[in-house]
Amino acid sequence: MPIDQNGDARIGGVSLRSLPKVSLHDHLDGGLRPATIIELADAAGVAVPVTDPAGLGEWFARQSDSGSLVEYLKTFDLTCAVMQTREGLTRVAREFVDDLVADGVVYGEVRWAPEQHLAGGLSLDEAVAAVQDGLEQGEDAAAAAGHDIRVGQLITAMRHTDRSLEIAKLAVSWRDRGAVGFDIAGPEDGFPPARHRAAFDYLAAEFFPATVHAGEAAGLESIRSALLDGRALRLGHGVRIAEDLEVVGRDGEDVQVRFGDLAAWVRDREIPLELSPSSNLQTGAIAAWGTELADHPFDLLYQLGFAVTVNVDNRTMSRTSLTRELALLAETFDYDLADLEMFQLNAAAGAFLPVEEREELIGIISDGYAG
Ligand SMILES: [Zn+2]
């Protein structure tokens, strides 16, 4: 299924971009437009490696495909460097919503770590407010143009620093003003959720939802800690849960699989997996299975009944969109519209929203796919 020059693809004549989508795992500092980076860098006196938007877009792709974590992380140094002021944060958040709208997203959750945006003198609270302003500007502009979208903040703490309790309190303090959940990100291996137990205990006592990056750079122990110590309601990627599955036989299309207790729990409790196909390839999260999208355990997890969702992770680094991720999956695993609809319904069901709003989303998706 060819992706056209507008970044769209079609199944049975239906534009994938036009279909309603839910984006759950989408980093603010991973979704900047190259042209915006250049403008903001110019104003802030930040050096950019390439000074034209197309070339900078290619630089992101090269760095991210390099196979080197050091080179990959340089891309975030650049995006974060231009997000240290109120103006920078607000503009990036505003454009983030605009870009989701163009991708057909009707509900999104944007994650970012306020503690990484204080170098220009903003307080944590001011940084969250700046992002919230941009999100609301984007929502209002979309509504004026006839497209309803809501984007909630997932306030993220960094795993390798020790501010997680403070960040958890920040998230809860914004719960009725735009924050919908909490996340921890950064180096997974060696920095388990157990290290942030105080933050997760606090969130649990406040009944504030958390998703946890786990099962990406580390394996089953990390997922176990995300569920036990983090009380994660969703897993950020979680792809390595497939390590707890043993394929014991195949009969044509049918695969017989033995489940470990952890995998059984994640499937049977319908804990959403925030899978990000292109990113999972680039970061080596699926290295145990191979290097091509066809090697991704996505389809196995889907066929076995896990609550799989499709995500972009970092649109700029992976030069992707939700439309493109869906098209790549459909092409690789021969999915039809009913499959793609299921991924959106899973995401709607897993959104950190009150149940009536999730049901409303489910209605929007069903209507959209019904044509
Ligand atoms: Zn992520």
Tell me: pLDDT of 187 over 90.
no
Residue 337 scores a pLDDT above 90: yes
Look at strands 245-251 and 254-259 and give their pairing: antiparallel
For ligand 1, the distance from its centroid to the CA atom of residue 206, given in whole angstroms, is 24
Quick one: pLDDT band at residue 351, thresholds 50, 70, 90? very high
Predicted TM-score (pTM) of this structure:
0.96
Dihedral-angle region of residue 364 (phi above 0 means left; psi in -120 to 50 means alpha; beta otherwise): alpha
Count of helix runs (H) and strand runs (E) in the chain: 15, 12
- 284 CA from centroid of ligand 1 (Å): 13
pLDDT at 125: 98
The CATH class, in words, for 10-370 is alpha beta
Q: What mean pLDDT value characterizes the chain?
A: 96
Query: Six-digit token pair at 321?
Result: 């969109």
Q: Do residues 239 and 219 touch, judged by C-beta distance below 8 A? A: no
Check residue 320 and report its DSSP letter: -
Per-residue confidence at 69, pLDDT binned at 50, 70, 90? confident
In whole angstroms, give the CA distance from residue 53 to residue 319. Answer: 13
| Span 10-15, average pLDDT | 94
What pairing do the DSSP bridges indicate for beta strands 211-214 and 254-259? unpaired
Nearest-10 Cα torsion for 275, 276, 282, 285: -10
pLDDT band at 54 (very low <50, low <70, confident <90, very high): very high
Pairing between β-strand 234-237 and β-strand 245-251 as defined by DSSP bridges: unpaired
Residue 278 DSSP SS3: helix
Question: Looking at this protein, which amino acid is placed at residue 254?
Answer: D
47 — pLDDT class (breaks 50, 70, 90): very high
Distance (Å) from CA 274 to ligand 1 centroid: 9
What is the model's pLDDT at position 273?
A: 98
Work out the number of other CB atoms within 10 angstroms of the CB of residue 198: 12
Residue 369: phi and psi, rounded to 5, are: -75, -25
pLDDT, average across residues 245-249: 93
pLDDT above 80: residue 288: yes
Distance 281 CA to ligand 1 centre (A): 13
How many Å lie between the centroid of ligand 1 and the Cα of residue 236? 6
pLDDT average, residue stretch 214-224: 93
How far apart are the CA of 313 and the centre of ligand 1, in A? 5
| Distance (Å) of CA 329 to CA 60, 221, 280, 288, 311 | 22, 28, 13, 19, 11
Q: In this structure, what token pair is assigned to residue 60? A: 């992101």
* Residue 51 confidence (pLDDT): 95
Evaluate whether 111 touches 151 at the Cβ level (below 8 Å).
no
As a whole number, mean pLDDT of residues 146-170 equals 97
CA of 176 to the centre of ligand 1 (A): 24
> Tens digit of pLDDT for each residue in 193-213?
999 999 999 999 999 999 999
Distance between CA atoms of 358 and 338, rounded to whole angstroms? 19
Specify the pLDDT at position 15. Answer: 96
Task: Give 253 or 361, the one with higher predicted confidence.
Answer: 361
Mean pLDDT value across residues 147-166? 97
Q: Tell how far the Cα of 26 is from the centroid of ligand 1, in angstroms.
A: 7
By annotation, the residues acting in catalysis are 216
Cβ of 124: how many Cβ atoms within 10 Å? Answer: 18
Judge whether 136 and 181 are in contact, CB under 8 Å: no
